[in-house]
Amino acid sequence: MNSIGSGRKVALVDSGSLLAQAGARELRDRYDWVAPEEADLIVALGGDGFMLQTLHGLLDGDRIVPVFGMNRGTIGFLMNEYRLDAFEARLDRAKAFTVNPLVAQITTMSGQNHVLPAINEISLLRETRQAAKIEVMVDGRCMLPELICDGILVATPAGSTAYNLSANGPILPLDSAALALTPISPFRPRRWRGAIVPERTRLSFIVREGSKRPVSAVADQREVRDVRSVDVAVDRSRQLTLLFDPEHALDDRIAQEQFLG
C-alpha cells in the first residue's frame, strides 16, 4: 500500500452504508491511513448528512482539520464525485472553502441552557398542531413582535440550498457574508417572506405562550424541545474547511442552484 503524498497524514471515515463501506474497502486496499485524531486531513465517504456529522465531530473535538468528501450517499451537495483515478492529485489540487458555523444559545421553559453549533441552519419549529408565536429581534431591536408560523430558521450560505431553499428562502453566494432569515409557513404577518442580514448580526427569538404552543430548536441534526428563547450568532472563533475538486467547487454549485427550476 502507498502513503498519500509526502508526510501527509490522512484519515478515512465512512457513513456505514453498504455503498460507503464498499468505497472505503477500495481505498484501504490502495493506501495507508491514520486514525482521525492523528490526521492532517480527513476523507469522508457518504452523503451530505454524514458530511455534517463529520464536521460536527470536529467541532466537538480538540482539532479541526480539512475534510474532502466523496459522494456515496444520495444528493451529495457537499461532496465530490466518488472516483479513485488520480486520487492523490485530486487532494493536492483541491480548492479550500472555509465555513464559520452558527452557534445557538438555547434556554428551555424549565430554565436549562444549551449551546449548539450548526453548519447549515438553526430552526425553530412548532411541536404540536398549535401554530408557534415567536418574537423576532435583530441586534437587540424587536423587528417582529409576533410571528405566527410553523417556525423560522437562520441559514448560512453553505446551508441556504438545504432546508432554507425548501422553505422558499433565498440562495446566498458563499462569499456573501450574509445569513438568511426565513419563516416557515407564516400566517401573520402574511406578507413577510423573510430577510437577508449581515453575518455579524445577532438574532434572538422569544417564544410566546410556550406552555400552550411548544417550540423546539434544531441545530442541523440536534434538537432541544420546549424552548423559551434562542440567540443565534456566527461563531468566528472556529472555522471549518471543506475541500472540493476545482471543477466541482461549492461556490459554483450554489451559483448554479439559482438557475434550476
Question: Which residues are known catalytic residues?
Answer: 48
Q: Any binding-site annotation on 85?
A: no
Q: Any binding-site annotation on 226?
A: no
Q: Any binding-site annotation on 241?
A: no
Distance of alpha carbon 65 from alpha carbon 68, whole angstroms? 10
Rounded-to-5 percentages of helix, strand, coil across the chain: 20, 40, 40
Q: To the nearest 10°, report the CA torsion of 119, 122, 125, 131.
A: -140
Sign of CA dihedral 219, 161, 178, 56: positive
Q: Any binding-site annotation on 121?
A: yes
Q: Any binding-site annotation on 168?
A: no
Helices of type H across 16-126: 18-30, 48-60, 87-93
CB 99 within 8 Å of CB 238: no
Q: Any binding-site annotation on 163?
A: yes
Q: Any binding-site annotation on 61?
A: no
Q: Any binding-site annotation on 48?
A: yes
Q: Any binding-site annotation on 150?
A: yes
Helices of type H across 61-181: 87-93, 163-166
Q: Any binding-site annotation on 2?
A: no
Q: Which residue has the cell 402574511?
A: 190
Distance of alpha carbon 215 from alpha carbon 112, whole angstroms? 15
Distance of alpha carbon 236 from alpha carbon 128, whole angstroms? 35
Q: Which residues are annotated as a binding site for NAD(+)?
A: 48-49, 120-121, 150, 158, 161-166
Q: Which residues are annotated as a binding site?
A: 48-49, 120-121, 150, 158, 161-166
